[in-house]
Chain A
């Protein structure tokens, strides 16, 4: 059973092996969480991203929840904003795609063409 005491221990441990953890910027993953996004299944996608980031121990990736992005028919939509400002929008994201996006895009630096909003909309 997880207790809050355990969390304190975890924090102390993390503080000990904190290298250069806080770098400015990094990659930001924005998940659309408007009514449309939630109804289409954005919550499991958000949670899966959190799990994957923790599992892969990614240090420079943040998750942001945003409102409706205006393309309700293609929800759940996620936007990945790179440190240099380039943005990539993936549409109709599901839990299974999260692992792929993390591995190929976030870690590998390669866009997955078939999941892009621009490709799906066409």
Chain B
């Protein structure tokens, strides 16, 4: 993974696979604390205690096509390389909370990357019902609520080409000024 936006997209795919109907993503960029926090919360199927112990193991996976599962180990490595940490909390049957932190000024801290693109890719995923994305950088912040968009465009689907294109441009215009020129 090249940047943080790709880690985010990858982690959210786990929530989708856990059949979450509501996914909340919170991205906090704090220059004073010198910290980047990425929080992903879902109401999916969660993990058992046994699975929770195994989840950081790259040779553990629930998929059947391969014997490795690298999503979580990749993220953990990235966090630890940048003086941060990865916390995963899960209750079977009710959801998972994941929090990844990075030291912002650390030389190995991944760049933020194209956050808008990742948020867009999540928003147009066919299996998601509700998706709330919040980004905060000092005094600037924005919140994207998928159900608001769905309501506005109803009875049309958000998968209509013109709606998708609109969301794509909307996210770019609102997110890029907040994170500044970091791409």
Contacts and interface: CB of A to CB of B under 8 A. Distances in A.
Instruction: Give the residue among A8, A11, A63, A70 with the most B Cβ atoms within 10 A.
Output: A11
Interface of B: 1, 6, 9-10, 13, 17, 63, 65-66, 69-71, 74, 114, 117-118, 120-121, 124-126, 148-149, 152-153, 155-156, 159-166, 168-170, 173
A63 B156 contact: no
A43 interface: yes
A104 to B, nearest CB: 19
11 contacts: A11-B153, A11-B163, A14-B160, A35-B10, A35-B71, A35-B74, A39-B10, A43-B114, A62-B159, A68-B66, A70-B65
Given A39-B6, A50-B161, A54-B162, A67 B63 contact: yes
B161 A44 contact: no
Q: Is the interface of A mostly helix, strand, loop or mixed?
A: helix
Interface in A1-42: 1-2, 4, 6-8, 10-11, 14-15, 33-35, 38-39
Contact of A33 (B13, B63, B70): B13
A116 interface: no
Interface size class of A (residues with CB under 8 A): 20 to 34
